[in-house]
Structure 1
Amino acid sequence: MTSDPTFPLIHWTDDGAELSARWRSEAGVAPPRRVVLADDRTTADAAYRQASEGIALLWRGDFQNARQLLQAMARRIDRKRRKPPASPLDAFNAHRQAQAQRARTLGMLLVALDADYSIPLRRAPDVKAACQEVYGDALAPDGTGGTPSVVSLRELLGLVGAHEWRKKGVEIAALGARIHPYYGVFSPVRGEYIDLVARTPLPSQALAFDIGTGTGVLAALLAKRGVARVVATDADARALACARENIARLGLAGQVDVCEADLFPPGRAPLIVCNPPWLPARPSAPIERAVYDPDSRMLCGFLNGLAAHLEPGGEGWLILSDFAEHLGLRSREALLAMIEAAGLKVIGRDDIRPAHPKAADPTDPLHRARVQEVTSLWRLAVK
Structure 2
Amino acid sequence: MLHWHHQGVDHQAAWRSESGLPAPRRVVVVDDTLSADTAYRLACEGTALLWQGDFQNARHLLDALKRRLDKPARKPAGKAAGRGKPRPAAEPVSPAQAFHLHRQAQGQRARVLNSLLVPLQPDYGMQLRRAPDWREACTQAWGAPSGDAGVQAVALRELLGVVGAYEWRKKGVAMPVLGAQARIHPHYGVFSPVRGEYVDLVAQAPLPAAGQALAFDIGVGTGVLSALLVQRGVRQVVGTDLSPRALACAQENLQRLGLSQRVQLQACDLFPEGQAGLIVCNPPWLPARAVTTLEQAVYDEHSAMLRGFLTGLRAHLLPQGEGWLILSDLAEHLGLRSRAELLDWIEAAGLQVVGKLDVRPRHGKAQDASDPLHAARAQEVTSLWRLQAR
What TM-score do you get using the length of structure 1 for normalisation? Answer: 0.95
The answer to whether the Cα contact below 8 Å between 1:38 and 1:60 also exists between their aligned partners in 2 is yes
SS at match of 2:253: helix
- AA partner of residue 108 (structure 1): S
SS at match of 1:230: strand
Task: Give the Å deviation of 1:207.
Answer: 1.1
Structure 2 residue aligned with 1:3: none
Structure 2 residue aligned with 1:188: 193
Q: Work out the CA distance in 2 between the residues paired with 1:223 and 1:107.
A: 42
Q: Work out the CA distance in 1 between the residues paired with 2:143 and 2:14.
A: 14
Please say if 1:170 is aligned against 2:177. no
Task: Give the Å deviation of 1:146.
Answer: 3.1
Over 3 Å counting, the alpha-carbon distance change for 1:198 and 1:188 in structure 2 is same
The answer to whether the Cα contact below 8 Å between 1:85 and 1:91 also exists between their aligned partners in 2 is no
Q: Work out the CA distance in 2 between the residues paired with 1:103 and 1:171.
A: 30
Structure 2 residue aligned with 1:11: 3
Structure 2 residue aligned with 1:30: 22
Identity of aligned residues (%): 63
Q: Work out the CA distance in 1 between the residues paired with 2:102 and 2:67.
A: 16
SS at match of 2:280: strand
Residues 36-75 of structure 1 mapped to structure 2, 5 A cutoff? 36-75=28-67
Q: Work out the CA distance in 1 between the residues paired with 2:10 and 2:152.
A: 15
Please say if 1:333 is aligned against 2:340. yes
Q: Work out the CA distance in 2 between the residues paired with 1:80 and 1:23.
A: 33
Task: Give the Å deviation of 1:254.
Answer: 1.2
The answer to whether the Cα contact below 8 Å between 1:28 and 1:286 also exists between their aligned partners in 2 is no
SS at match of 2:159: helix
Q: Work out the CA distance in 1 between the residues paired with 2:305 and 2:164.
A: 28
Q: Work out the CA distance in 2 between the residues paired with 1:172 and 1:81.
A: 41
Structure 1 residue aligned with 2:83: none
SS at match of 2:261: coil
SS at match of 1:58: strand
The answer to whether the Cα contact below 8 Å between 1:272 and 1:316 also exists between their aligned partners in 2 is yes
The answer to whether the Cα contact below 8 Å between 1:92 and 1:327 also exists between their aligned partners in 2 is yes
Please say if 1:155 is aligned against 2:147. no
Task: Give the Å deviation of 1:286.
Answer: 3.0
Residues 1-383 of structure 1 mapped to structure 2, 5 A cutoff? 9-81=1-73, 86-139=93-146, 144-176=147-179, 177-204=182-209, 205-383=212-390
Task: Give the Å deviation of 1:175.
Answer: 1.2
SS at match of 2:315: helix
Task: Give the Å deviation of 1:84.
Answer: 8.9
- AA partner of residue 160 (structure 2): L
User: What are the ranges of 5 or more consecutive residues in structure 1 without an aligned counterpart?
Assistant: 1-8
- AA partner of residue 128 (structure 1): R
- AA partner of residue 65 (structure 2): M
Specify the structure having the higher radius of gyration (Cα). Answer: 2
Structure 2 residue aligned with 1:5: none
Q: Work out the CA distance in 2 between the residues paired with 1:349 and 1:84.
A: 38
Over 3 Å counting, the alpha-carbon distance change for 1:353 and 1:162 in structure 2 is same
- AA partner of residue 28 (structure 2): V
User: What are the ranges of 5 or more consecutive residues in structure 2 without an aligned counterpart?
Assistant: 75-89
What TM-score do you get using the length of structure 2 for normalisation? Answer: 0.93
Q: Work out the CA distance in 2 between the residues paired with 1:146 and 1:20.
A: 12
Structure 2 residue aligned with 1:6: none
Q: Deviations over 1:91-149 (max 9, x none)?
A: 1111100000000011100000011110110111111011112222114xxxx423211
The answer to whether the Cα contact below 8 Å between 1:27 and 1:287 also exists between their aligned partners in 2 is no
